[in-house]
Amino acid sequence: MRKKVAVLGSTGSIGTQTLDVIDHLGYEVTALTACKNVDVLEQQARKYRPRYLAVSDAESCQKLRQALSDLPIEICCGEDGLCRAAALTENDIVVNAVVGIAGLAPTLAALEAGKTLALANKESLVAGGHLVTQTARRTGAEILPVDSEHSAIFQCLMGHTDHSELSKIFLTASGGPFFGMKKEQLQKISVEQAMDHPTWKMGGKITVDSATLMNKGLELIEAVWLFGLPPEEIEIVVHRESVIHSAVELIDGSVIAQMGVPDMRIPIQLALTYPKRMPGRTKRLSFTDYGKLTFFPPDFETFDCLRSCVKAAHMGGLMPCVVNGANEEAVSLFLERKIPFLKIGELVEASLSLTEYQKDYHSMDEIKEADGAARQFVQKQVATYL
């Protein structure tokens, strides 16, 4: 079957790798979206000839319309445009590779339309896990994880439709570029150092999240929603080689792990071809090339972001949304060189004081309120700090 795919966030790392997989599989592209990278989006549009494009703002939209005036492509902007791309009637599958909480609205739009969602936007479940899973159950839409760790868990559980057989999840982490360092060694970390990830080549925000281990904290919260386990039954393990992408322990004591070379095209392709597997063109794993695999406990004392995410997961309600919003704001300030590296974790942890959001929620408006409050909190803290 030649599936029709919408790729949201098509100019980023996951988006471009998704298009590479689509080329390999011979699938059709129905829609492409980007934030403001008009030049790359124009190139993609000319290659794939989708029916629909969306960008984040009116200025980028106008530039794109002028650049593509010779093609019969509908071009829109803003959140409404992004959601429309996610809900197109002809979509067989929607790949959500949008960065940050901006990915939540199109996640809900795709699920409301009953579309299969290949989810690479972890913030959708972190900020709005209750709403997202509730919508999927109501419409019968399927969520297929694209993150390498959650795809690994998903693969380990294939054939185990009854999650009551699941006892524990081992969520692996590369440890980031600062593995083994203590806070005193991280005092003067530069943006360039934080962007130098040992395993993966990614965009700015997620690379910094990997350096602070915030990314792994967000993935723990995501796993809670995807697999129905409480946070205390998800163990984070630092695995520097990134060969075991995650593992599960079943109630009889068996442990099943998913392994492979660190290449995001593997989980992306599975999400696109599921429930079938197709031949891929990634490098094959050689055990003897690696020789040995190592495992370490995470350093919760040094990496405040990771500790804060675990706390937020236990607190429940909108607290995961709060720490996510605080982190997005803090990472932006770090990338703008306005705050030092360690300040990110301090601000995320401080946001846990917004306990008024430790409550049940039922709407997108409540999520936006909590996210906005966290961002304002960070801005106020930084103004005092500066």
CA distance 241 to 245: 10
Residues 71-98: pLDDT tens digits? 999 999 999 999 999 999 999 999 999 9
Q: With the CA atoms of 285, 172, 15 and 21 taken in that order, what torsion angle do they form, in degrees rounded to the nearest 10?
A: 30
Residue in the block written with tokens 């005036």:
69
- pLDDT of 32 > 70? The answer is yes
For residues 241 and 179, give the distance between their C-alpha atoms in angstroms, rounded to a whole number.
12
Which pair of structure tokens corresponds to residue 376? Answer: 């304002």
Q: What is the pLDDT of residues 353-382, one digit of tens each?
A: 999 999 999 999 999 999 999 999 999 999
| 144-157 average pLDDT score | 97
Cα angle vertex 232, ends 226, 233, to 5°? 60
Residue 1: pLDDT band (50, 70, 90) is: confident
Please give the order of strands across the beta sheet that includes 244-250: 234-238, 166-173, 244-250, 255-259
Examine the pLDDT at 219 and tell me if it is beyond 90: yes
Q: Binning pLDDT at 50, 70 and 90, where does residue 159 land?
A: confident
Q: What is the mean pLDDT of the chain?
A: 95
> What is the phi/psi pair of residue 61, to 5°?
-60, -45
In tens, the pLDDT along 280-326 reads: 989 999 999 999 999 999 999 999 999 999 999 999 999 999 999 99
Q: Which amino acid is at 116?
A: T
Rounded-to-5 percentages of helix, strand, coil across the chain? 50, 15, 35
Give tens-digit pLDDT for 243-290.
999 999 999 999 999 999 999 999 999 999 999 999 998 999 999 999
Question: Per the structure block, which two tokens stand in for 127?
Answer: 């900020």
Q: In what order do the strands lie in the sheet with 28-33?
A: 74-77, 52-55, 28-33, 4-8, 93-96, 116-119, 143-145
Q: How far is CA 183 from the centre of its chain?
A: 26
Q: Name the pTM for this structure.
A: 0.94
Q: 12 pLDDT exceeds 80?
A: yes
Centre a 10 Å sphere on the Cβ of residue 320 and count the other Cβ atoms it contains.
31
Sorting pLDDT into bands at 50, 70 and 90, what band is 204?
confident
Beta bridge partners of 348: none
The DSSP 8-state label assigned to residue 6 in this structure reads E
Measured CA to CA, the distance from residue 148 to residue 259 in angstroms comes to: 10
